[in-house]
């Protein structure tokens, strides 16, 4: 009970520090306690800040128990949109991040917060929408062409609108011609997670850009069809970045390194490549050439 | 301090999106509070001033509903108004109206319960007077309500407070759509998810400020009414 209270207090302290703006020095008590674990690792707790798509698709719950049983580490996964996932690391609340927004990742590294960007796996964004496809996007070459047709026909489109990796990818596809939710009534900026947006798209019979894994996991409850995949502009790359111990103190540096090494190992690669085949008949993530 | 400065900046530059969000928030909270009170205050007064069989059970039920988690209320209303739900043909999902409906489901039991407790403790005197005057029951109800208005104000304000601070139900049925159903609490949640913690806190400051202004205004109105 006392321990729980201490953790809560520490969390509160860090949050209020973060709220006071730009504070990068975390309270030392917020770092994971050097607990009395019997395992040989000195600090068994690794804090991984990641995006919802990797966690909600079931990939991490599938991989991490293997890593944990092999090494004795315990991984605490915090999942949020890419924006929040990165901010948590900047605030000193994570040892490493696993995200999918190249521009934000580079900003993170240029700010000195990250050690090195390690892109290691990818998949494709897909465009889903009403099964009768009123805008006729199914034959399009890539996402940009599909978006142009959606804009032309003013078909309803649900945007994440939450600065997540998926939202940033969507904005990149719109390019200069990004619709304005204030004036374009067909463009709906939902400000919610992927699952909530897909449900909304199904209700309103709207188009939506999504990661394939989340869509497949929800498909049976949605009245939506998978209309376009594998355009050149729809690739979605995931990277691992260890937080820089020179910038942020109280990090579990060995733990972060151990997890990264394991994620890049042949064993994990094999597991990642197989993930999804049993349940959906297709792989949900592909490995980048090393 | 940064958050507070940001809040003041947003307010004084009259940020159009902030004003729109504030507008939706006030509209939603006004209607949720009004409707809940129109149902809950008379119901609570009846419950507090009458005894009948099954009253104890009814009160237990009411107290349970007072603790109804907002997400559960949101889910129930969502299930009713979803495309294939019983009221799907009304196309109300993701509108401010359905947000008001979900909030009424949450707040009406609170108003009824609080009002009933108050009446049980304090209405005995009023009831005696009313009986002595031989008033019909409708007038008795009205008398109870008008005589207790100062105390019932805190009931109304708790209803308003619950409405304006609630996020679980409105994000499910409203969908947090920009320029349409986004309210202060869902905006705060969104900014938190984006990682803009200090901006989120700034919005929180503004929400508190509004709650304060509404409270001051309401007590002033009731005070004025008493002197009339």
ipTM: 0.71
pLDDT of A42: 82
B77 phi and psi, to 5 degrees?
Answer: -65, -35
pLDDT of B13: 86
Please give the tally of structural domains in chain B. Answer: 1
CA atoms in the 13 A half-sphere facing the CB of B146: 9
Nearest Cβ partner for A19 among B179, B193, B198? B198
Q: Does B214 map to a domain? A: no
pLDDT of A289: 80
Task: Please say if the pLDDT value at position B33 is more than 60.
Answer: yes
Q: Does B225 map to a domain? A: no
What does CATH list as the number for A41-123+237-287? 3.40.190.10
Which chain B residues touch A84 with a CB distance below 8 Å?
A: 192-195
Burial of A177 (0-12, 13-18, 19+ CB in 10 A): exposed
- Please report which confidence band the pLDDT of residue B128 belongs to, taking 50, 70 and 90 as the band edges: confident
Q: Does B227 map to a domain? A: no
A21/B2 CB distance under 8 A = yes
CA closest to A14 among chain B residues: B197
A89 close to A224: Cβ distance less than 8 angstroms: no
A91/B197 CB distance under 8 A = yes
- Please report which confidence band the pLDDT of residue B136 belongs to, taking 50, 70 and 90 as the band edges: confident
Q: What is the CATH number of the domain that holds B76?
A: 1.10.3720.10
Closest listed residue to residue A239, CA positions, set A98, A79, A47: A98
CATH architecture group of domain A125-235: 3-Layer(aba) Sandwich (3.40)
Radius of gyration of chain A (CA): 20
3-state secondary structure A42-95: CCCEEEEEEEHHHHHCCHHHHHHHHHHHHHCCEEEEEEECHHHHHHHHHCCCCC
Cβ neighbours around B51 below 10 Å, total:
9
Cβ neighbours around A103 below 10 Å, total:
9
Structure tokens at A92: 């000193």
pLDDT of B140: 87
Nearest Cα of chain A lies from the Cα of B64 at a distance, in angstroms, of: 28
Q: Does B186 map to a domain? A: no
Taking only the tens place, the pLDDT of each residue in B151-185 is: 899 999 999 999 999 999 999 999 898 899 999 99
Q: Does B123 map to a domain? A: yes
Which residue ranges make up each domain of chain A? 41-123+237-287, 125-235
A189/B177 CB distance under 8 A = yes
Stretches in chain A below the pLDDT threshold 70: 1-40, 290
A97 close to A107: Cβ distance less than 8 angstroms: no
- Please report which confidence band the pLDDT of residue B228 belongs to, taking 50, 70 and 90 as the band edges: low
Please determine whether the domains at A41-123+237-287 and A125-235 fall in the same fold group of CATH: yes
pLDDT of A10: 53
Q: Does B222 map to a domain? A: no
Beta bridge partners of A239: A99, A119
Nearest Cβ partner for A18 among B175, B178, B197? B197
Q: Does B79 map to a domain? A: yes
Angstrom distance (rounded) from CA B87 to CA B93: 9
Nearest Cα of chain A lies from the Cα of B138 at a distance, in angstroms, of: 45
Q: Does B35 map to a domain? A: yes
Mutate to test the interface with A, among B78, B94, B193 (most CBs of A within 10 A): B193
Nearest Cα of chain B lies from the Cα of A73 at a distance, in angstroms, of: 27
pLDDT of B222: 79
Which chain B residues touch A18 with a CB distance below 8 Å?
A: 197-198
DSSP assignment letter at A245 = T
Domain hosting residue B92, numbered range = 18-181
Nearest Cα of chain A lies from the Cα of B6 at a distance, in angstroms, of: 11
């Amino acid at each position: 009970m006392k321990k729980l209270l201490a953790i809560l207090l520490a969390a509160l302290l860090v949050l209020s520090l973060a709220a006071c703006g730009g504070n990068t020095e975390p309270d030392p008590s917020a770092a994971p306690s050097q607990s009395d674990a019997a395992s040989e690792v000195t600090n068994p707790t690794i804090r991984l800040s990641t995006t919802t798509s990797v966690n909600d698709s079931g990939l991490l719950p599938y991989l991490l128990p293997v890593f944990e049983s092999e090494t004795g580490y315990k991984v605490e996964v915090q999942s949020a949109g890419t924006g929040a996932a990165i901010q948590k690391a900047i605030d000193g609340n994570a040892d490493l991040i696993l995200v999918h927004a190249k521009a934000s990742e580079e900003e993170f590294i240029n700010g000195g917060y990250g050690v090195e960007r390690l892109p290691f796996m990818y998949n494709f964004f897909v465009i889903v929408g009403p099964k009768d496809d009123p805008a006729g996007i199914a034959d399009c070459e890539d996402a940009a062409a599909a978006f142009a047709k959606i804009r032309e026909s003013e078909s309803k489109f649900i945007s994440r609108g939450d600065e997540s990796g998926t939202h940033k990818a969507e904005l990149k596809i719109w390019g200069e011609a990004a619709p304005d939710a204030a004036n374009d009534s067909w463009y709906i900026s939902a400000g919610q997670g992927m699952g909530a947006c897909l449900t909304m798209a199904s209700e309103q019979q709207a188009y939506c850009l999504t990661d394939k894994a989340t869509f497949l996991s929800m498909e049976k409850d949605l009245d939506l069809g998978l209309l376009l995949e594998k355009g050149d502009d729809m690739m979605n790359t995931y990277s691992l970045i260890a937080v820089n111990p020179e910038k942020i103190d109280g990090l579990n540096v060995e733990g972060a390194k151990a997890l990264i090494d394991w994620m890049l190992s042949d064993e994990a690669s094999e597991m990642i490549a197989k993930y999804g085949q049993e349940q959906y008949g297709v792989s949900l993530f592909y490995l980048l050439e090393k | 301090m940064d958050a507070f400065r940001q809040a003041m900046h947003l307010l004084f530059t009259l940020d159009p999106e902030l004003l729109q969000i504030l507008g939706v928030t006030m509209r939603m909270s006004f209607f949720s509070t009004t409707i809940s009170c129109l149902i809950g205050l008379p119901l609570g007064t009846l419950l507090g001033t009458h005894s009948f069989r099954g009253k104890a059970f009814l009160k237990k039920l009411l107290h349970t509903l007072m603790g109804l988690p907002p997400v559960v209320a949101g889910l129930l209303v969502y299930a009713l108004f979803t495309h294939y739900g019983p009221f799907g043909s009304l196309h109300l999902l993701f509108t401010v109206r359905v947000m008001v409906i979900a909030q009424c489901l949450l707040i009406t039991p609170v108003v009824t319960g609080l009002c009933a407790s108050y009446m049980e403790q304090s209405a005995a005197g009023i009831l005696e007077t009313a009986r002595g005057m031989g008033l019909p029951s409708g007038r008795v109800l009205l008398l109870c309500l008008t005589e207790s208005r100062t105390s019932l104000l805190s009931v109304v304000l708790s209803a308003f407070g619950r409405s304006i601070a609630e996020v679980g139900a409105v994000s499910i049925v409203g969908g947090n759509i920009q320029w349409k159903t986004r309210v202060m609490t869902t905006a705060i949640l969104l900014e938190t998810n984006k990682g803009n913690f200090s901006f989120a806190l700034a919005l929180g400051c503004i929400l508190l400020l509004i709650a304060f202004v509404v409270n001051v205004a309401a007590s002033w109105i009731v005070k004025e009414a008493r002197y009339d």
